[in-house]
Each structure stands twice: as structure tokens, then as C-alpha cells.
Amino acid sequence: MASLFRDRTLGNSRRDSFSSSSSATTAAAVASPSSATSRFTSTAAAAALPSPFGDLTATLSDSDLRSSAYEIFLSANRSTSSKPLTYTPSSNNHTSSPTNTAANGNSNANLQRSLTSAAASKMKKALGLRSSSSKRSSDSNSPVPGGKSKRPMTIGELMRVQMRVSEAADSRIRRGLLRISAGQVGRKTESMVLPLELLQQFKASDFTDQEEYEAWQKRNLRMLEAGLLLHPHMPLEKTNTSAQRLRQIINAALDRPIETGRNNESMQVLRTTVLALANRTSDGALLESSHWADGLPLNLRLYETLLEACFDVKDESSIVEEVDELMELIKKTWGTLGLNQMLHNLCFTWVLFNRYVATGQVEIDLLCAADSQLSEVAKDAKMTKDPIYSKILSSTLTAMLGWAEKRLLAYHETFDSGNIASMQSIVSIGVLAAKILVEDISNEYRRRRKNEVDVARSRIDTYIRSSLRTAFAQLMEKADSSRKASRNRPNPLPVLAILAKDVGELAIKEKNMFSPILKRWHPFAAGVAVATLHVCYGNELKQFISGITELTPDAVQILRAADKLEQDLVQIAVEDSVDSDDGGKAIIREMPPYEAEGAIANLVKAWIKTRIDRLKEWVDRNLQQEVWNPRANQEGCAPSAVEVLRIVDETLDAFFLLPIPMHPALLPDLVNGLDKCLQYYATKAKSGCGSRNMYIPTMPALTRCTMETKFQWKKKEKSVTSQRRNPQVATVNGDSSFGVPQLCVRITSLHKIRMELENLEKRIITLLRNSESAHAEDFSNMLGKKFELTPPACIEAVQQLSEGLAYKIVFHDLSHVLWDSLYVGDPSSSRIEPFLQELENYLTIVADTVHERVRTRIIADIMRASFDGFLLVLLAGGPTRAFSRLDSQIIEDDFKSLKDLFWANGDGLPDDIIDKFSSTARDVLPLFRTDTESLIERFRRSTLETYGSSAKSRLPLPATSGQWNPTEANTLLRVLCYRNDEAASKFLKKTYNLPKKL
């Protein structure tokens, strides 16, 4: 997107003085405005912008374009009635005869309308343009040499003068149009190729001399070349024979003029060739218009020339009062040029803007008018996505934006009290052009949500920051010059002290002169400006402070000046942002403080960083050596946990002993660092201990296997230890840091750290209260500054360790009495007592090792894991297990025994916790005493509800979710798979072709 805002180099004017042999004639004919014309020409040559519509052939000069545009103008406004256009030589009587007047159509009447009493222009009022200083009525009636008075000027005469066309040329064109009209009655202007028709109407005898005739002929041929060969309406194939023939004709005519006129062979060949090119279509349909002047960029450059005629030749920065009538007639060329209202709006915007630039940027009304017209362009851009229009729009807006941004990116150099009035319109044009380019043209922007980018605010932000940085660089040079000039004086001011004073004055100027204008698009313009200055000065100050080894008089002077500057800048930022949602915090965050204590503060921060880094290294080193022995101390937690808390305590003491005046300001840095170290300890303490998901086996596929089939469990993660151990033997002796007692020590250690944080926070308040540099507000501020990272880290670690411990015990350490034994073979002879006995041993270890505040949680997790394991045996226990309805009582009794173990005659877990975790098993167990037919019916109904009509012909195999539910199809099917009766076997064989025998 950056290419949209790339600056464009200002080029030379497209305007030039009259050229070729016709220039003398034209200059003589419009002698009255010649001085104004020359003034505009010289001004434009230095300041006008290159046309954004594209380059034409170098052989077509501005004078050529103007002449051809005038011919198109007259042709478009000739009579459209069946009567021919009447021509009255201007060299004869100044009034038209009744016959001639009657013969003219409505359009010709418009051309002949008198301007002596023209009303004030509605268009000028709408655009906010001033009235012309000179009144045409008085000029047109003033006496001329010889005593004759000028006739009242008409719209047609006005256009001739504005286009700088001589009366002789005008008469010739009108005469030619009358001849064309007479020969082609009723034919529309758009249906003819005007240069071709004019070439047929005139010979060398119609011109004052051969040189003028040849120049006229070459211009018309070059116009045909531009419209049909160089810039055609439709792409031109390289193999087009008519194009090749026309090139040959034009090249030959440039060396030796061809004979023009109506009836000669060369003109007939030219006519055939031109019409073949002008009437081309992609589908062979009949054309209502000939495409010879409506190709890009020729048509836009011609129309640009016509629009420029709206500017008074006597006052190049003023639009004529008769612009309404003139524009009405100019718009009639749309049919020939292939234009519409949108392209008109765009061209007119550019013409207004470029005229402001070309006339020395003194007429602000033109700039305001361009801004107003650009608003219409913005509406058009939202209504159409035409790629051709978008390309022209992009080129035009890029040129306007490039010119505007060249001034706005350094607006302190561009504007002062003398021209500040123009700044608002320039900013408006720049912002609106950028918005159209980004929001309505940029494909990248359309692919994203539009509320992500505030184009106007973003551009103003860029202008402010760029301009202030440039201005600051100039102040740096000025301050350095001032220091050199005062080098031999006693006690010269340091450069940064001078700079601080100058920056403060610049900030006041910004606030008073520029910010009120920029606030229209950026509500916090002054805040952004002072924030930019603050950062610029802060960068210089930072370099100075980095070299300070002691406080010198110069250093004190600089720091005091910097402190005053900072207060002034912050005050401006706060006042500017008082109505913002965040109260100006966003702007203040852009202004990192550089108070006098900054140098000391940086040294203290380095001290804090060193202590924190050492503590982190200590954590790494000691946790690698920690054995998590439950007998290491009476507290039941690891020595490393006790030691890390002691180091944190000592670090706080050392900090408050430092001889500095900013303990409250730097204390948050220290607390944050210690917080991260303790968080790091919690993260490392749980690392490698496994999690709940590590021990839960992957749910096996639904099967009804033979007794010989070996069921295999698959773990999601690699087990911490693959050996089944007696929890009271090896792990207690400390040969494994991941045994059950060791995991309990980890949990207790993390719980202790979390509980000690509250004491640490209270101690910090006490130390702060005893500090000489603290104030009353510091205490209230610190009350909200706590260890924020460690508590959630400890909670998360304890949760993971507790769940991992529970599922490790049930699914790993006790798998031999749960999975390998429970209900294998005859359920009545392989009941749950062995599992309960060994499980009780583990519960005893937990009760003896874990702190009582987290004991309930761990036991609850073990209970939940036990219930999960019990259900997994019943519903996914493999081919070694099968149940009859009579076994349901055994299952229910065993489950009650399992719950009673955790209830412990009222000394164990609360009833509500037991009920919460046993609800799933309590709901599922009744299925084991339900008769097979009912199970099958419930399974069918559940499957149909899940899969709909697709399950009527054949019941699909339900997915294995692992979320047991008595109404869920997979749960019902698993009960049937382990049902040891003939009805279940037949159903499973018939429905899913599963083996009849378990």
C-alpha cells in the first residue's frame, strides 16, 4: 500500500506558447489577453504538475490539442435539427440576419447568447469561488481605436477567446461545419470523424498561406494518428491492414502534404481507411458513434483543455462568471469524447487543483473548490468499481496526494502565518485522496475489515510525526550553531539546554497554529506532536545520559532544562487528550520519562536485572539436583522451595538498602522480576511429570473378540516409567523423582510458594513505609501491585500434577489389580477388593505427604480416576470380560465399596463431591441389569435419533466417544457387546457381523 503514497516528482508544464505558423495568427486575433496569457505560460512552466491522464505523442503540442478541442466543442454544439447550421462571417455585420438566426437550432442559440447581463454563476457559488474582478460587460462595450465599439460578446465568442483561437480560424471551422451539416443532414456529431470531415472540406486556398495550411493538415492527421493508432478506443491488432495503411498515409503526408478536398483519390483512400478503424466493434454491431477521440488518454487530455478554458485569460486564477453556460456547452462533447459525469468530476477536480498549483498557489478559492469537487469524486468512487475509471482515478489522486504530501510531511517548512489559511484545504485534499486510494481502490484494503484502518487519522499522524522530526533536526543544527557562537563567552549553555528551550517554543507554535487545523481529522493532534518532540529530544538526552559517570554542572543544567521541557510537553498532551477514552494514557505512553533521576534509575535497573538473572540461574541449577524427598524437612516441601523464598526475601532487603530516591518508582520492576522467577520455578517443578492425558489409554475400537485375542492398550504419550513399583518401597527411598511421594512433595512445595506470596506482599508494604523516598500515594499504588504471574502458575501446576498423580496411580501403578484382574473370567471370583486394598495404601501416602490444604483435591482426583477406570473395565475391558444380568448386583456392590473407600465413614470426601464424580457411573450401571431386548430397542432408538432415516435400512456403527451416557448409542452397544447371552450375540452377529461368542 505504500506505493499509493509515493511522492511524485514535479514536472514541467504542459502549457507552452503558441507554436507553428498559426501562432502568429492566433496571437494577433486575441491580442487583448496576450499579456495575461504569457504571464500564465511562464508561471505554469515552472509550477504546473504533469497531467495524470497519461502521455500523448510528442508531435501533438498543447496548441494542437487546444485547436482540436475547440473544433470538437463547436461540432458538439452545432444544430441537431434537420436545418443546416447557418454561418455568418464575423468580418461582416456584427448582428445576424433574421434568416440566419431562424436557421440556427437551440444549441447554436446557446452559442450566440449575449453575455452583457450574465447572472452570477451558481457553480462558482457552490464551489466557493470569488467573482471576477473585471466585468466582461464593461470590457466588451469599451471603445476601440477608430471609434467603433465592440459588439456584445456571446458564449461562442467567449469560448473562442478563452481557447485563444483566432477569428479567422473560428470562421473557417464554422464554415466547415456548415458544409458538413449540409451534406449530412440529421447525422449526429458523434457519428462522424471530425478531422477527416474537415480535411475533406478545405484546400490550401482556404488558408492565408501554404505554411498555415500544411500545419493545419499535419495537426488533423496527427489527431487521427493519436485517436486511431496511438490511443484507440479498442485495442488495435498488429495485423490490422487499415492501421498499417493509415500509418503509411500519415508518414507520407508529413513529408509531402496530401491534396485535401472532397473529390480526390487520396482523400477517398484516407476516408475508407479512417472509417474502417473508427467503426471497429468487438461483436460487429452497428455503431451510433465513431470512436476516434474517445480513447484514453487522448479524450481526457482534450477534455482537460476544454475545462481549462473556464479560466479567465485576463486573470488566470479566476473562473469566468459565465462558467455555468460554458460548462453546459462543454459537457455536450461527452458523446464524442466518450465521457460521463464521473470522469467530468475527476477531470474538473484535477483542473482546479492544477490551476491553483500553476498560478503560484496564491488563489485559495481554487484550492477550496478542488477540495469541494474532490468530495464528489469520493462519492463516485464508492458507486463504481470500473477498472478503467479506477486506474485514471488512482493516477490522478496519486499526483494530487504526492503534491500535497510533499508539503504536509514537512508542513513547518511549508506554512507560516502568511499562508496558513491554505493548509486546511491541502490537508483535506491529501486525506480525502488517501482515503479514496486506500478504501475504494486498494484491493488489499477491501479484503480486510474496513474498521481496522482509520486512513484519515493515520495520514495526519504521519504528517505530524514527519514534520516535527524534520523541524527538530533543524533545531538541532540551530542549537549547535548557537553553542559555537557562544563558545568564548563565560558559562556557555550546553547544546541540549538550548535545544530544550527551542523545542518548548516549537511545541507552543504547534499547539497554537497547526493543531487547531489538524484536529479536524486527528482529535489528539497536539498530543501526537508533543509526543514526537518528546521522543526526539529524549533520544538525544539518552545518548548524553549514557555517557554520564558523575553529576557535573552541565549535566544538572541539562537535566533541569529537560525536566521543564518534559513538564511542558506532558501538560500539552494531557490538555489535548482530556476528552479521550483513556484520558490521554496512550499518548503519555509514547513519552517515556527522562527525569533527572533517570541516570541513577538505569543503574538500579541494571542491578535488578543482575539479581533476577542470578536467581533464574539458581532455579535452573537447583531443580536439576532436587530429589523431592518427603523426609527432607518437617514442612513436607522441597528444600529448593524454601531456599528460593529465602533468596527473594533477601533481594527485597538489599533493594531497600540502596541509597536512591526512587524506591517506589523502581519497586514494580523488582517485583515483576521476582514474580517471573517464581513463575519459572513453578513451570520447571511440573516439567516432565506427565499429565492426565498421558495415562488415559486410547479408546479401543468396538469389538467382540474371541478369548484368544490379546487386547493391547495404546498410550498417547510415553510413560514416565514403565515399571510397576511398590509405592512404599523404591520411590520413598528417593531413587525416582517421579514417584507418588515425590509428586506429592512437588505439589506441597508449589502450594507453599503460593501461600507465602501474601506474606511477601505485606512485607514489601512495610519496607516501603520505612523508605524515606516513599509518599502516601505510593502505598495505595503498591497495594494493587502484587505477584501476578506466580499464583496462576502454581494453581495450574498443582492441577496438572494432581490429575497426573491420580491417573498414574489408577491406570499405571494399579493396572495389575484393575485392568489385569478386575472381572476377568467369572466376575464373582475377581471382584474389586484387591484394587481397593492397594488403592488405600496410596491414599495413605497422599494423606501423610501432602499439605492438608490440597489433600482433598488430590484424593478427589484419585476418586475420579478410579471411577473412570471402573467404567473403562466394564465398557471397554476386552475379550476377557463378559457379564450377565445376574452380575449387575456384583458390579453395583463393588462400585458402592469403591465410593465407601473415599467416604471413609464420613471422615473422607464430602458427599456432594462423591455424588458429583460418581454421577456418570451411577447412571450407566443400571444398564447391566436391563434385559437384552430392552437394551437392543433403546440402542435402535438412540441410533435412529442420531443418524435419522439413513439408519433405517442398516444401523450404522456409532462412533466411540468415550463420554459414557445411558442414552448414548455407543455406551448401549458396548453393554451389549459384553452381555453374555444368546440374544445379544445374535443381534450383534446379524447387525455388525461380530463373533457370537466372547
What DSSP letter does each residue of 630-659 carry, written as one string? TTSSTTSS-HHHHHHHHHHHHHHHHHHTS-
Q: Which residue has the higher pLDDT, 768 or 263?
A: 768
Q: What integer pLDDT is reported at residue 460 of this predicted model?
A: 94
Cell numbers for 200: 475533406
Mean pLDDT of the chain: 81
**pLDDT, position 135:** 42
Residue 192: which of 276, 64, 299, 278 has the closest Cα?
278
Taking 50 as the threshold, does the pLDDT of residue 845 lie above it?
yes
Give 725's contacts (C-beta < 8 A, 6+ positions apart): 731, 736, 739, 813
Model-level pTM? Answer: 0.57
Higher pLDDT, 487 or 586: 586
Cell of 709: 485375542
> Residue 432 in contact with residue 374, Cβ under 8 Å?
yes
The pLDDT value given to residue 860: 94
Low-confidence winner among 107-116, 207-216, 639-648 (lowest mean pLDDT): 107-116
pLDDT of 78 over the 50 cut? yes
Rounded Cα distance between 264 and 306, Å, is 34
Please tell me the predicted confidence (pLDDT) of residue 285.
58
Residue with cell 489409554: 697
Pick the more confident residue, 993 or 453: 993
Q: Which of 225-234, 344-353, 848-857 shows the lowest per-residue confidence on average (mean pLDDT)? A: 848-857
pLDDT of residue 266: 86
pLDDT tens for residues 469-514?
A: 999 999 999 888 877 766 655 556 788 989 999 999 999 999 999 9
| Residue 707 pLDDT | 41
How far apart CA 670 and CA 652 sit, in angstroms, is 8
What is the predicted pLDDT for the residue at 153? 73
- The answer to which of 240-254, 720-734, 925-939 has the lowest mean pLDDT is 720-734
**How would residue 192 be classed by pLDDT, with cut points 50, 70 and 90?**
confident
CB burial class (10 A; 0-12, 13-18, 19+) of residue 23? middle
Give tens-digit pLDDT for 592-647: 887 656 666 766 788 899 899 999 999 999 998 989 988 877 678 899 999 999 99
| Cell 459384553 -> residue | 978
Rounded percentage of the chain residues whose pLDDT exceeds 90 = 46
Q: Which three cell numbers stand for residue 995?
A: 463373533
pLDDT higher for 776 or 988? 988
- Which pLDDT value is given to residue 48? 79
Residue 718 has pLDDT above 50, yes or no: no
Closest CA to 65 of 206, 178, 210, 164: 164
Radius of gyration of the chain (CA): 47
Structure confidence at residue 849 as a pLDDT band (50, 70, 90): confident
- Is the pLDDT assigned to residue 4 strictly greater than 60? no
**Band of the pLDDT at 721, cuts 50, 70, 90?**
very low
DSSP 149: B
**Distance of alpha carbon 920 from alpha carbon 937, whole angstroms:** 22
Which is nearest to 227 in space by CA: 338, 366, 331, 313?
A: 338
Nearest to 862, CA basis, from 841, 832, 878: 841
Amino acid at 30: V
At residue 869 the predicted structure's pLDDT band, cuts being 50, 70 and 90, is very high
Residue with cell 476418586: 863
> Residue 434 has what pLDDT?
92
- In this prediction, residues 436-457 reach a mean pLDDT of 70
C-alpha cell at 923: 447412571
Query: Which of 1-15, 438-452, 688-702, 823-837 tops mean pLDDT?
Result: 823-837
User: DSSP letters of 434-469?
Assistant: HHIIIIII-HHHHTS-GGG--HHHHHHHHHHHHHHH
pLDDT of residue 655 exceeding 70, the answer is yes
Cβ burial 464-496 (10 Å sphere, 16+ → b, else e): bbbbbeebbeebbeebeebbeeeeeeeebbbbb
Q: Is 607 exposed, middle or buried (0-12, 13-18, 19+ CB in 10 A)?
A: middle
CA gap 634, 3 in Å, rounded: 71
pLDDT above 50 for 723: no
Residue 955 has pLDDT above 50, yes or no: yes
pLDDT of residue 230: 92
All cell numbers assigned to 260: 485535401
Omega of the bond leading into 257 within 30 degrees of 0 (cis): no
Q: How many CB atoms lie within 10 A of CB 953?
A: 6
Q: Contact, 232 vs 223, CB < 8 A?
A: no
DSSP string, 868-912: HHHHHHHHH--TT--B-GGGHHHHHHHHHHHHHHHHGGGTSS-HH
Average pLDDT over residues 435-458: 72
Quote the cell numbers at residue 448: 480486510
CB of 318 closer than 8 Å to CB of 312: yes
User: Comparing 148-162, 212-226, 255-269, which segment has the lowest mean pLDDT?
Assistant: 148-162
Q: Are 164 and 18 in contact (CB under 8 A)?
A: yes
pLDDT at site 552? 59
Q: How far apart are CA 539 and CA 541, in angstroms?
A: 5
Residues belonging to the chain: 998
Q: How confident is the model at residue 724 (pLDDT cuts 50, 70, 90)?
A: very low
Q: What is the pLDDT of residue 484?
A: 73
Query: Measuring CA to CA, which residue among 348, 332, 351, 346 is closest to residue 383?
Result: 346
The per-residue pLDDT for range 47-72, each reduced to its tens digit, is: 678 889 888 877 789 899 999 999 99
Look-up: residue for cell 449530412? 184
Mean pLDDT of 403-419: 93
CA 396 – CA 346 distance, rounded (Å) = 8
For residue 58, what pLDDT is reported? Answer: 74
Statement: residue 383 has pLDDT above 60: yes
Helices first, then strands: H and E counts in the chain: 43, 0
Q: Highest-confidence range of 358-367, 501-510, 549-558, 687-696, by mean pLDDT?
A: 501-510
The per-residue pLDDT for 799 is 93
**How much is the pLDDT for 594?**
78
Strand pairing partners for 114? 154
> Cβ of 935: how many Cβ atoms within 10 Å?
20
How confident is the model over 79-103, as a mean pLDDT? 37
Contact 304, 116 (CB under 8 A): no
Please choose, from the candidates 574, 622, 566, 618, the residue with its C-alpha nearest in 3D space to the C-alpha of residue 594: 566
- Between residues 40 and 787, the one the model is more confident about: 787
Dihedral angle of Cα 462, 468, 471, 475, to the nearest 10 degrees: -150
Residue 29 has pLDDT above 80, yes or no: no
